[in-house]
């Protein structure tokens, strides 16, 4: 653990702020709990508490009012509109894509206000390398364990300690046994370390530079890294790089596609060909917002099968 002291304080002593945003277009529970980010948790009082960009945040909605506090400060003045992608027109998407497909329309009606996030690309890569054949609660525990072990301490707030996300440089061969055992990553630990070693050797800002590339180019760059296959590349593209046409295909999305859109596919395994056919079908139907439609349909399927939320 890094030998850096961190203050002890309470949320009650921190200043709180607020902004207004229509509640039908922003639902924090659906957005922060749908499986695209893993460092948020909901408290009994309805606050969502998480660590983003080295800051501890808590936020909740009361009608159209969004309240929040941050320590040591917000990551930047325009953080919430940027992170929550508040400039994306959900109403237009509901109307236009809902008219194209009744299944998408039903998902929009079931989970109004679910928004895609704009996350840190390196953190998103690291997180989704932990997701292979894994459940959301286990993924969250693994990421929290890594942050406690190798992230910079930020603060202890109301008796809970918070740490920043570990940098790519900490992932070396020496920590593989700890990742396997204490973070319960098993075989994923080796793949994670090998990928992060390659990323650490890239020029500074490499991951952030992918946001300016076209989707196909950014995806190819991601897949040039060991252990990053199509699904992880598409998750990073969609949840961190603003590539809204990216369609991550996992077991849930495969089942959705075979049930609703591609019943002629009979293969039981998710081959590269099947993956590409499913992603292409979503893009044919929903265009440049295919990733948004996928996330709504994915979340609907996840909630119907919440006893086995394996990605």
Query: Which among 62, 88, 114 is the end of a domain?
Result: 88
Q: Catalytic one among 202, 231, 243, 268?
A: 231
Nearest to 170 by CA among 187, 204, 147: 147
Assign residue 43 the CATH number of its domain: 3.30.310.40
Q: Rounded CA gap, 7 and 154, in Å?
A: 8
- Give the CATH number of the domain where residue 288 resides: 1.10.1670.10
Q: Is residue 66 part of a domain?
A: yes
Question: Is 57 in contact with 49 (CB distance < 8 Å)?
Answer: yes
Question: pLDDT of the chain along its 311 residues, tens only?
Answer: 444 579 999 999 999 999 999 999 999 999 999 999 999 999 999 999 999 999 999 999 999 999 999 999 999 999 999 999 999 999 999 999 999 999 999 999 999 999 999 999 999 999 999 988 788 899 999 999 999 999 999 999 999 999 999 999 999 999 999 999 999 999 999 999 999 999 999 999 999 999 999 999 999 999 999 999 999 999 999 999 999 999 999 989 999 999 999 999 988 889 999 999 999 999 999 999 999 999 999 999 999 876 544 45
- Main-chain dihedrals φ then ψ at residue 148, nearest 5 degrees: -65, -40
pLDDT for residue 59: 98
Say if 284 falls within a structural domain. Answer: yes
Buried b vs exposed e over 15-26: b needs ≥16 C-beta within 10 Å?
eeeeeebebebb
| CA pair distance 202, 199, nearest whole angstrom | 5
Confidence (pTM) = 0.94
Domain total in the chain? 2
The closest of 294, 133, 116, 126 to 196, measured between CA atoms, is 126
For residue 195, what pLDDT is reported? 96
- The reply to whether 42 falls in a domain is yes
Q: Is residue 216 part of a domain?
A: no
The pLDDT of residue 307:
52
Say if CB 149 and CB 60 are below 8 A apart.
no
Long-range contacts at 82-91 (CB < 8 A, ≥ 24 apart): 82/118, 83/52, 83/117, 83/118, 83/119, 84/26, 84/31, 84/115, 84/117, 84/118, 85/115, 85/116, 85/117, 85/118, 86/21, 86/26, 86/115, 88/115, 88/116, 90/25, 90/115, 91/25
Which domain-ending residue is among 88, 119, 151?
88
Range of 296's domain?
244-306
DSSP string for residues in 48-112? EEEEETTEEEEEEEETTEEEEEEES--SSTTHHHHHTTTTS-HHHHHHHHHHH-HHHHHHHHHST
**203 inside domain:** no
202 has catalytic annotation? no
Is residue 45 one of the residues assigned to a domain?
A: yes
pLDDT for residue 4 = 56
Last residue of a domain, one of 40, 68, 88: 88
| Nearest in space to 170 (alpha carbons), one of 155, 156, 183 | 183
């Amino acid at each position: 653990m890094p030998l850096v002291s961190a203050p002890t304080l309470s949320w009650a002593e921190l200043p709180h702020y607020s902004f207004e945003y229509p509640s039908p277009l922003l639902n924090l529970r659906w957005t922060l709990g749908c499986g695209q980010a893993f460092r948020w948790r909901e408290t009994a009082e309805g606050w969502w508490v998480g660590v983003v960009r080295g800051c501890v945040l808590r936020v909740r909605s009361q009608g159209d009012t969004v309240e929040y506090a941050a320590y040591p400060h917000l990551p930047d003045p325009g953080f919430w509109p940027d992170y929550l992608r508040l400039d994306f027109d959900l109403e237009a998407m509901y109307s236009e894509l809902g008219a194209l497909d009744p299944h998408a329309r039903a998902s929009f009606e079931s989970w109004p206000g679910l928004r895609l996030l704009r996350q840190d690309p390196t953190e998103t890569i690291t997180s989704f390398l932990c997701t292979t054949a894994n459940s959301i609660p286990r993924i969250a525990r693994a990421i929290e364990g890594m942050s406690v072990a190798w992230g910079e301490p930020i603060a202890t707030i109301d008796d809970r300690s918070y740490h920043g996300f570990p940098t790519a440089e900490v992932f070396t061969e020496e920590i593989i046994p700890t990742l396997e055992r204490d973070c319960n990553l098993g075989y994923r630990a080796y793949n994670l370390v090998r990928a992060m070693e390659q990323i650490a050797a890239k020029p500074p800002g490499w991951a952030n530079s992918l946001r300016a590339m076209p989707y196909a180019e950014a995806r190819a760059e991601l897949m040039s890294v060991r252990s990053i296959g199509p699904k992880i590349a598409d998750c990073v593209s969609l949840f961190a790089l603003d590539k809204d046409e990216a369609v991550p295909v996992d077991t849930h999305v495969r089942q959705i596609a075979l049930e609703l859109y591609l019943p002629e596919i009979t293969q039981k395994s998710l081959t590269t060909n099947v993956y590409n056919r499913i992603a292409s079908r979503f893009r044919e139907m929903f265009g440049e917002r295919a990733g948004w439609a996928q996330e709504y349909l994915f979340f609907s399927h996840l909630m119907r099968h919440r006893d086995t939320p394996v990605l």
